[in-house]
Structure 1
Amino acid sequence: MSSSCIEEVSIRNDDWFRIVNELLSRAGITINGPASSDLQVKHPDFFKRVLKQGSLGLGESYMDGWWECERLDIFFHKVLRAGLETQLPSHLKDTLRIATARLFNLQSKKRAWIVGKEHYDLGNDLFSRMLDPAMQYSCGYWKEATTLEQAQQDKLRLICEKLQLQPGMRVLDIGCGWGGLAEFMAQHYGVSVVGVTISAEQQRMAQARCAG
């Protein structure tokens, strides 16, 4: 038996795989299935990571190349429509397994607001001294730029071009920060943007920046 076949058998005999497989089947998603909305798992620890870390683990494991999906939009539509984020396994021992794993996971809606208050609500004057005029809190695009401001402007333009934005489109910006990207999209691409942030200070500046 080849090493890949042995690994596949090992995964399918794993309790974490079994739990994830049961939940995804409720949404009509098959692990390593043929449909464009089926996820293709590349790392055997993917299942345990997702059950321990929830949506954060799902997103970060995707960025780490642990799984792929041809149609992410359909995948997440199925997941959300089935309400999988609020569902638990059908067996009590599986529920206890997940509960035990998450005792050490501090991610929660309540803690998200605490992070916003203690990290971002320190005062916009502090961050304005650190960041570019658009108040971008992620790395710039330095392919041709020679200044921080230009690098951030080039990054915003690159994002919009990758999204293939057209006038009249609506964009949901989750984690919109101080509204720099939202303002750029609206001004230069004629789209309507809804921004979401966990910081009261960021919201205040973003609303003032995008007024009108």
Structure 2
Amino acid sequence: MLERHFQKQLQKHLSKAGISFNGSHPHDIQVKNDQLYHRLITQGSLGFGEAYMDGWWDCASLDTLTCKLLQARINKTITSPFLMLDAVLGRIFNLQSGKRTYTVGNNHYNTGNDLFQAMLDPLMLYSCASWNNADTLQQAQKNKLRLIFDKLQLKPGMHLLDIGCGWGGAAKFAAEEYGVEVTGITISSEQADLAKHMCKGLPVSIQLQDYRTLEGRFDRIYSIGMFEHVGHKNYSTYFQTANRLLAPGGLFLLHTIGGNQPATSTDPWISRYIFPNSMIPSASQVTIAMEPYVLLNNWHVLIGDYDRTLLAWHNNIEQHWHTLPQHKYPQRFQRMWRYYLLTCAGAFRARHLQVWQLLLEKRGRPLYFSDTGDRGER
């Protein structure tokens, strides 16, 4: 009787998004365990994700389901104590302090290079691709790198800093295609080991290091998909550090996921199972933090690209699960990973999440004009 009451209560909310329990549409929720309704009422998004991992429900189109839920703002009407607790903790504590630097590296990026090799493109770029005039993930990721490095106006002999270098694919591409020297830093030991192998023989140095402890001077800096791990209490430190490391006249390209409103925490399921202590910045949080240290040159929004990238990753890994060790990646892990990729795709499709590229300048960088009065090279 109580489960029936919970079901009716939830269905009332879901109907606003055109979603039903045990309906006939691909985005409908197929219930396998009647205890699901109580779990959703009491545990919110955390219970929703865990119940999927446990096989309590299924959905033929998880990405569409998520998109519809977010467009109808169902996430605002069904909350849980876990979400409120995470928000409070994020306001009080620095969840991305120096002592916590390597948490996300150990818990996520060290999951297994074999997993990421099966999912990603040959350069192993774990961030939004650029699908303009691209038919394959490999080409779309190369498009993204050219977009970034052309914005940075790279010239042979420059020394670049890659903050959050991943498995070294971007550094390898920059060294080979643009003739530059790259220093890459990561907080994942697995990434560092593979990056050193990938960039062997190139003018690329890979270091297992927190960005806050880095010293030196660099002509250009770029950071692709790392800012989401910085945390709102460290945004100012991040931009201050970039300004300190950037040579006079230097440029800095920040590629990051962005949110539509300020946040001090992330979704509790994502924090527990995928990216611990992660945080999606809002535009106001970024601008307030960066204004004392760098100048904004350009703010580029990539629309639709991450949805397609996540679906490509999902298709890749679904085709390769059978090639990976089952004791390492059992069925519950596979369901977790599927839920992660497809719900994130739906979140970007709903414009609940954005992708930004900010081209930033070191303060005091001169502006040159040609004899004709046209704006020249900067």
Q: TM-score, normalised by structure 2?
A: 0.34
Cα contact 1:113–1:198 (8 A) shared by 2: no
Deviation digits for residues 75-111 of structure 1 (CA, Å, limit 9, x no counterpart): 11111111111236xxxxxxxxx8xxx5xx2432523
Give the structure with the higher percent helix: 1
Cα contact 2:46–2:82 (8 A) shared by 1: no
Cα contact 1:112–1:198 (8 A) shared by 2: no
Tell me the secondary structure at the aligned position of residue 83 of structure 2: coil
Partner of 1:33: 23
Deviation digits for residues 46-85 of structure 1 (CA, Å, limit 9, x no counterpart): 1111121221111121112111111111111111111111
CA distance in 1, matches of 2:173, 2:118: 12
* Aligned partner letter, 1:20: L
Partner of 2:90: 113
Mapping of 1:60-209 within 5 angstroms? 60-87=50-77, 102=80, 105-108=81-84, 110-114=87-91, 117=94, 119-121=95-97, 123=98, 135-138=105-108, 140=110, 151=112, 153-160=113-120, 165-168=137-140, 179=164, 181=166, 186=170, 193=225, 196-197=228-229, 199=231, 200=233, 204=238
CA distance in 1, matches of 2:17, 2:76: 13
Tell me the secondary structure at the aligned position of residue 120 of structure 2: helix
Check 1:139–1:26 CA distance in 2 against 1; reply closer, same or farther (3 A cut).
Answer: same
Q: How many residues align?
A: 159
Check 1:80–1:112 CA distance in 2 against 1; reply closer, same or farther (3 A cut).
Answer: farther
* Aligned partner letter, 1:110: A
Q: TM-score, normalised by structure 1?
A: 0.56
Check 1:78–1:194 CA distance in 2 against 1; reply closer, same or farther (3 A cut).
Answer: farther
* Aligned sequence identity (%): 24
CA distance in 2, matches of 1:63, 1:73: 16
Deviation digits for residues 143-166 of structure 1 (CA, Å, limit 9, x no counterpart): xxxxxxxx4x334323426x9843
Partner of 2:34: 44
Partner of 1:173: none
Check 1:76–1:106 CA distance in 2 against 1; reply closer, same or farther (3 A cut).
Answer: closer
Check 1:139–1:196 CA distance in 2 against 1; reply closer, same or farther (3 A cut).
Answer: closer
- RMSD after superposition: 4.2
CA distance in 2, matches of 1:35, 1:160: 30
Cα contact 2:6–2:37 (8 A) shared by 1: yes
Deviation digits for residues 119-177 of structure 1 (CA, Å, limit 9, x no counterpart): 541x15x755xx8xx93423846xxxxxxxxx4x334323426x98433368xxxxxxx
- 1:193 Cα deviation after fit: 4.3
Check 1:63–1:184 CA distance in 2 against 1; reply closer, same or farther (3 A cut).
Answer: farther
Cα contact 1:185–1:193 (8 A) shared by 2: no
Give the structure with the higher percent strand: 2
Check 1:43–1:55 CA distance in 2 against 1; reply closer, same or farther (3 A cut).
Answer: same
* Aligned partner letter, 2:90: W
CA distance in 1, matches of 2:32, 2:39: 13
Q: Which has the higher contact order (CA 8 A, sep 6+)?
A: 2
Check 1:186–1:116 CA distance in 2 against 1; reply closer, same or farther (3 A cut).
Answer: farther
Structure 1: gaps (5+ residues): 1-9, 89-97, 142-150, 171-177
Partner of 2:47: 57
